[in-house]
Structure 1
């Protein structure tokens, strides 16, 4: 049995099927998007300190 945790990690449900390629791809894309946002914020903050 697989356990699925939401992005907010507040909702936990179990499911009988293994994760599909589509769900893994969606999760990876979401993480990359968050990573880009974090990188953008860090660069912006660094540039603001230099001015």
Structure 2
């Protein structure tokens, strides 16, 4: 739920976030539902702009 909350707070769609993270929209969806967990976050995902 944390991913979705952050995404919505920024006013981004799943597609917007996927483009920023260089992954697919379906990956964002799976991250939001807990069906997929990242073992490591891309370095840019930890930036203040995220």
Q: TM-score range by the shorter chain?
A: under 0.3
In our comparison, the structure showing a higher alpha carbon Rg is 1
TM-score calculated relative to the size of structure 1? 0.21
State the TM-score, normalized to the length of structure 2. Answer: 0.21
